[in-house]
Structure 1
Amino acid sequence: MPSRAQQILNDPVRTPYEQLMFELPAQVVAMLCGLDPAAGGEASRLVGRFVQCIPATASPEQQQRAARAAAGLQELLGPKLDDTQQGLLGDLVRMATQVNWTDRAPLLANGIGFLSQTYDATAALMGNTLLALSQQERERPADETTLERFVREVIRHDAPVQNTRRFTATPIRHGAVEVPAGQAILVLLAAANRDPAANPNPHTFRADRTAPTVFTFSAGAHRCPGEMLAVTVVTTVVEQLLKVGFDPASLSTQVTYRPSPNTRIPVLTDQAGT
């Protein structure tokens, strides 16, 4: 991954934020699924089209492009869905075999899910980390360990995924509210991270905060399995950026965010507007 980050950073004119935030993490996961670098690059491009169908506001044209992208992803990932293959997809098949699961279609859908869930969420984490570094009053991490701790505090303080949805399997009672079975519940992960009962002085960004309570990756059976991977990808890319002389203060202070119902993805530009 460091070498791929270095390739992307070779542009002498501008920092390719879009590639760093979106394409690189997807390529990493594609390669972990067993694809070679060329196929991983194609998977990264396809998943960028595929995720356009996820919002309820997706247009018919976006849905059509997403359907074609899904077909392309199935062609790329399908051959790797074999218990003789190395990587995440091979592991997925082997685990399914252990519980006598023989239907491959859901496994392939989960393989595409590995990529699509990486795309927006990791981009948001990387962008929010760079923004946090750009604030001059914050001391920049001196080594990989302190940088990783910095990234984890970004996950808590400026959550890349702001909310998620759950459905009640049975009737439950929450405080004074009775919730019937089958009810959709919006879970505000970002708000939970700022709960003073979970984290002292929660509205203050503390890069030295140890073992913060973080709800960003949810919990229980539906906890996101990509926490360590997301932290590692972002820590490594930001570390490479700083090594090649990237100055976070060069980021524009006029920050906008991509429209999204649940992710907080900044649109990064340099002070010069590139």
Structure 2
Amino acid sequence: MPPPSDAIAAVTHADPYPYYAALVAQRPFYRDDKLGLWVASSAAAVDAVLACASGRVRPPAEPVPQALVGSPAGDIFRHLVRMNDGAGHCPFKQAVAATLSAVDDIRVAAVADLRAQRLVGTMALNDVVFALPAHVVGSLLGVPDDRLPQLAQWAGDFVRSIAPGADTTALARGNVAARQLLAMFHDMLARARDSDGLLARLAHDAGSVGRPAADVIVANSIGFLSQTYDATAGLIGNTLVTLARHPELQACVEADPGRVRAVVGEVLRYDPSVHNTRRFMAADTVIAGQALTAHDAVLVVLAAAGRDPAANPDPARLDLARQHIRLFTFGAGVHACPGERVAATIAQAAVTRLIATGVRPPALLDGLAYRPSGNVRIPLFAADA
């Protein structure tokens, strides 16, 4: 099997990890003229880029993708804390982090298990993988049970519309979904004082840092959904693939379902869902000894950094007893994603329920493919097993 043609093609390659290992060893930080990007692959280079004061999460001249400007999807996008820097990022990031840190693990686990029970066996495996994260996060936010299926559909349409290269059909569907999501969450926010959901908690935490604007609160509540949708679907799928390729692990979790949590924790490093992110330089700077100019863009290969032996010794070995794991898939620095516990808990519930209801991971390898994406690694299974 030929290696990936570049670091973006690697995301959906059948086995990108030998390629990533070669990048870490030979090209930890380099310029890819074909992609028009700098590429950071080693743990040290990734850390340096994510810590760089000149790095921005969006091109400074295009804070909202041109295709979204003036649309309902763009109205959500422009307020997302993860898509803003400086005054647009802090202190509201503190409110988002406080809200997620206050989430009770036992409650998340209970909600995730209940939603998994209701979905597994009622729809195809691929549909479960995508729907479950939206059902769980929607429930935690306070969305009524009968509206969760529609919420999951809207979340998927919105996520596809803000992906780079979205076509006109995806943009149109995404704007319909964004309009519906905005109406739903503004209505929920108006009644938030009667709720104990995450939306009410975010409204409270936003007020405590002096940023109680309704548009910002609503957009970032929708952001909880959109960030969870692809990333957690990928985590569920990649955990199933890992179990399929390591029969001893499947035997382990069948004997002790509690071990699924350890498998998910190692998969976050070993075969994560979010493989890369980007940073855009707002000023001339030097990173890893290389001079970058304002407007240069860097592809930050998080999945390669997780396989760097300097960060995680013997990185190609799947080890449930691994100590002091360094995870990169949630980012680092001021834009680190605070949703690790929620994502891992949802994935644990999904995999545990699927195994308990008879899904046989080895059979899932037949016809395995990956959803086209330049950032997120999400398995698509040919059939239920």
Q: TM-score, normalised by structure 1?
A: 0.90
* Contact kept in structure 1, 2:159 and 2:174, CA below 8 Å: yes
Residue of structure 1 in register with 2:91 after alignment? none
Kindly state the Cα deviation for residue 144 of structure 1 after the two structures are TM-superposed: 4.5
Structure 2 residue corresponding to 1:111, chosen from 221, 228, 234? 221
Structure 1 residue runs without a partner (length 5+): none
Moved more, 66-75 or 250-259: 250-259
Distance 1:136 1:269 in 2: 20
**Is 1:44 matched up with 2:152?**
yes
Alpha-carbon spacing, 1:175–1:136, altered in 2? closer, same or farther (3 Å): closer
Alpha-carbon spacing, 1:185–1:81, altered in 2? closer, same or farther (3 Å): farther
Aligned-partner residue type, residue 251 of structure 1: L
Kindly state the Cα deviation for residue 136 of structure 1 after the two structures are TM-superposed: 4.4
Moved more, 85-94 or 111-120: 85-94
Structure 2 residue corresponding to 1:94, chosen from 204, 210, 228? 204
**Is 1:157 matched up with 2:265?**
no
Aligned length: 269
Kindly state the Cα deviation for residue 253 of structure 1 after the two structures are TM-superposed: 3.1
**Is 1:212 matched up with 2:325?**
yes
Structure 2 residue corresponding to 1:67, chosen from 150, 167, 175? 175
Distance 2:304 2:276 in 1: 9
Distance 1:187 1:94 in 2: 34
Kindly state the Cα deviation for residue 153 of structure 1 after the two structures are TM-superposed: 1.1
Residue of structure 2 in register with 1:245 after alignment? 358
What's the secondary structure of 2:291's corresponding residue? strand
What's the secondary structure of 2:249's corresponding residue? coil
* Contact kept in structure 2, 1:251 and 1:268, CA below 8 Å: yes
* Structure number with higher relative contact order (C-alpha < 8 Å, ≥ 6 residues apart): 2
Kindly state the Cα deviation for residue 248 of structure 1 after the two structures are TM-superposed: 1.5
Moved more, 225-234 or 40-49: 40-49
* Contact kept in structure 2, 1:52 and 1:62, CA below 8 Å: yes
What's the secondary structure of 1:139's corresponding residue? helix
Residue of structure 2 in register with 1:19 after alignment? 127
Aligned-partner residue type, residue 320 of structure 2: A
* Contact kept in structure 2, 1:151 and 1:231, CA below 8 Å: yes
Identity %: 38
Structure with the higher fraction of residues in helix conformation: 2
* Contact kept in structure 1, 2:135 and 2:149, CA below 8 Å: yes
Kindly state the Cα deviation for residue 137 of structure 1 after the two structures are TM-superposed: 4.1
Which digits, 9 at most, give the CA deviation of each residue in 1:54-77, with x for residues without a partner? 223211122111101001111221
Aligned-partner residue type, residue 77 of structure 1: F
Residue of structure 2 in register with 1:236 after alignment? 349
